[in-house]
Structure formats: structure tokens, C-alpha cells
Amino acid sequence: MKTVIFGATRGMGRALARLLAERGDELVLLGRDPAELEKSAKDLEIRAGGAGHDRVGTEVCDLFDRKAFGSALDAAVQRLGGLDAVIVTAGVFGTQDELTDDADLLDRVLVADFVNTVHFCEEARLRLLESGGGKLCVFSSVAGERARRTIFLYGAAKAGLSYYLEGLDHRYRGEGLATICVKPGFVRTSMTAGLDPPPFTGEPDAVARSVLRAIDRGRPVVYAPPIWRWIMLTIRWLPRAVMRRLRF
């Protein structure tokens, strides 16, 4: 595939980019740090079979600068000579306590994880449809499935994103654009460093394998690790009075 990845320099995005490079996909990495992008691109070129293969390009794109989204995507499409898939793993995280105490951080989470991700996806949608369709894979979170007392501010942003992605899939799948919403549980990444890992904690490489299967098959929703599908099914059916008492 000819694929653009926004957020491939760390965590789950990096693990997914490595799988794509190893199987021979052509990639353009988007991110805000040129040095990190170049470092990641060199790593992926080696995994693709050698630095001379020129299968991995980079474009600077900041999730907080939505005016640059269109031009970054256009440059990526020109480099790739087409477009089959766009993957978005970029985002900002904050714990409930951090977001309650820091209005600026809360604003960054809401803008990055909902408002600007939607704007980026709209730009990606236009270019994928112009190319005849393809795959738009975006990382949301199980935190957006049901409001919980310990994570509802971050979860609110992800709930809005999940709602948008579901509607996008309903509207455009018939025109050839398949939207894949990824809903990870707790995964060991730099974003979650310092937090106590709960049961069923995932690892980036395992999550990436699950996500890649979902992209290839065009599945509209993927939970990672997969056990979260059944955990969230149970949580969705819990009465509100029970949810108020639970401390998770």
C-alpha cells in the first residue's frame, strides 16, 4: 500500500509503521519533529531492505496547526504517486487529575484528540476519495466507550472522535472509503509511562499486528488487545448507579 502515517515516531504508531515497512509498503511519515521523523525513516528503510530503497518519506505536520494538514497530505501523495491508506495515531494524553488541574492541558487534549484530528481526517477523506477510495485508520480509545469517573475528560474527546469515525464509515464506505476505528485499552508506551498498568495491559507490537489485520480486512472497529471488546461490552450494560460506585 501507499500509506501516510501521522504519529509514527513512537509507541503504537512506530510499531505499526515497522510492520508496514517490513512487508514492503511505501510510507510517508507525518510529525512535528524533523529529527525524529528522519530517525524513524532511516530505521524503516533498513527494515524495508536497505536505505537505498527510498520507500519511506517524511513531511513535517503539527497536529496543532490544522492549516498545514492539506499541504502535508498533498506533498505525501505527490511523493507516493497515489494514496491507499492514511493512519492517524498522533494524540495527546492526560490523566483525570492532570486535566482537572490544568486548563491548558485540557485544551490541548480536546483540540488534538478531537477537533484537529477530525479536521485532519476530513482532509484525508477528500484525498482518499480523489484517489478512488482506500482505508482511513484512526486511533481512538476504549475510554470513549462509556463515561467513567477516573478518565471522563480524556474519554470525552475520544468519544467524540469515535462517533465521528462511525458516521464517516456509514457515509462513505459505499463510495470506497473504509474507516477503521481503533480502540486500544491501556498499552505500554511513552504516553502511559509512570502509570500503574492495569490487568490486560497491551504491548505496542501486539496491538500493531491486530490493527494491521483490521486495516487489510477493512474492519470498521478493532479493540486492542482483543479482550477489551468483551470488557467494554460488559461495561456498556452496567447501570448508571453501578458506574458511579466503581472506581476505575
Active-site residue 163, yes or no? Answer: no
pLDDT digits (tens, 9 = 90+) for 206-226: 888 889 999 999 999 999 888
Domain of residue 29: give its range.
Answer: 2-245
Q: Three-state secondary structure along 201-247?
A: CECHHHHHHHHHHHHHHCCCEEEECCCHHHHHHHHHHCCHHHHHHCC
pLDDT digits (tens, 9 = 90+) for 94-140: 999 999 999 999 999 999 999 999 999 999 999 999 999 999 999 99
Mean pLDDT, the chain, integer:
89
Cell of 235: 461495561
| Contact of 153 with 99, CB cutoff 8 Å | yes
Q: Rounded CA gap, 126 and 197, in Å?
A: 39
CATH code where residue 219 lies: 3.40.50.720
pLDDT digits (tens, 9 = 90+) for 73-93: 999 999 999 999 999 999 999
Alpha carbon 6 to its chain's center? 8
- How far from each other are the two terminal CA atoms of the chain, in whole angstroms? 39
Contact partners, residue 196, CB within 8 Å, separation at least 6: none
Q: Record the pTM.
A: 0.90
Choosing from 154, 163, 172, 223, the catalytic residue is 154
- How many domains are contained in the chain? 1
pLDDT for res 52? 47
Contact partners, residue 18, CB within 8 Å, separation at least 6: 43, 44, 47, 208
Binning the chain into helix, strand and coil, the percentages to the nearest 5 are: 55, 15, 30
Per the document, the length of the chain is 248
